[in-house]
Amino acid sequence: MIHEEAKLANSSLEAQTRLRLVLAIATRGRPAILADTLAALEFQTRKPDALLIAYPEPQDVEGIASRFPQARLLLSQPGLTRQRNTILNALPTTDLLVFLDDDFHIHRDYLAVMEQLFLAHPEVVVATGTLLGDGIHGAALNPADASTLFRSCQTDGTPLAISPVFNAYGCNMVFRMEPIERHGIRFDESLPLYGWYEDVDFSRRLSRHGRAVRVDQAWGVHLGVKSGRHSEVRLGYSQVANPIYLARKRSVPWSFAVASVASRSLKNLVRSIAPESHIDRRGRLRGNIRAFRDLSNGSLSPTRVSSM
């Protein structure tokens, strides 16, 4: 009898120190990159309880099912917000949902650290990690670069260091599912294709119900692989249309939207004179100009990029 009571006590203690955690990835057109990311996940000290991958075409996940049988593959309509909603709608019962980009590599303790954070801080509903490198702002990184950057990182048992953030960065976002389910929160499918600022919108709506934080010891590297991206003209249009749309729907303040539009457009204008080799600044500028023209005639909408 005492033995059985001890087993029940240990089981109860384990339940209090563990959360159900699902990891999810929306992918398109990069099966080799996706495979590298999934292979790196196998070294996590805290394994996810489930792995979901949303894709629009069979070739997007070619070879994935045989190599990673633990992954549940979900056919979806194309577009980042639609694919992430497909995941949310198919999600098993869970406490935490971790969204990673298909080219985002995480330190081996990332999931363990995030679980520790959400256990210790019940008021946190949104969390994002600390980037050691981000290839989206320059030449793309590769998995070897990520491994090199992780070598200097050690979780030595010190208390977690967290700081408030305006939003989680879309390449690595961790959400507490209880408020998402309670309030029926989903990604806004009016932000189509690559979904510029879909992470801002979702984070801001969810953070009305708790805190949004960055975790210093949850390290990651965003490879920033350029293949599979949409046209830079479309991106330039979204850089203007999407923040204005979000301000109009009141998920972000107008000060944020105006600052974002101004800074992106000005950068594209200045750098179009001598653009970087890895960014089509002139294409982005053309998209900016088309958006400003639509703003002036009252037809500005994020959905217009779908017909460009």
> What domains appear along the chain, each with residue ranges and CATH number?
10-222 (3.90.550.10), 232-307 (no CATH)
Bridge partners (DSSP) of residue 275 are none
Res 3 pLDDT > 70: no
pLDDT band at 275 (very low <50, low <70, confident <90, very high): confident
Tell me if residue 125 falls in helix, strand or coil: strand
Helix (H) or strand (E) holding 173: strand 172-176
Please state, as a whole number, how many other Cβ atoms lie within 10 Å of the Cβ of residue 90.
Answer: 13
Residues 6+ positions from 186 with CB-CB distance below 8 Å: 85, 88
Percent of the chain with pLDDT over 70: 93
Q: Between these two residues, 68 and 193, which has the higher pLDDT value?
A: 68
Bridge partners (DSSP) of residue 176 are 96
DSSP conformational letter for 134 = E
Least confident of 191-195, 223-227, 231-235, 239-243: 223-227
Is 228 in contact with 295 (CB distance < 8 Å)?
no
- Mean of per-residue pLDDT scores for the chain: 91
d(Cα 233, Cα 6) in Å, to the nearest integer?
A: 64
Phi, psi of 163 (to 5 degrees): -145, 150
Res 260 pLDDT > 90: yes
Q: Model-level pTM?
A: 0.90
Task: Report residue 223 as tokens.
Answer: 């490879």
Percent of the chain with pLDDT over 90: 82
Is 37 in contact with 25 (CB distance < 8 Å)?
yes
Bridge partners (DSSP) of residue 212 are 126
- Over the stretch 229-257, which tens digit does the pLDDT of each residue have? 568 899 999 999 999 999 999 999 999 99
Residues 6+ positions from 81 with CB-CB distance below 8 Å: 187, 188, 189, 191, 192, 195, 198
For residue 241, the model assigns a pLDDT of 97
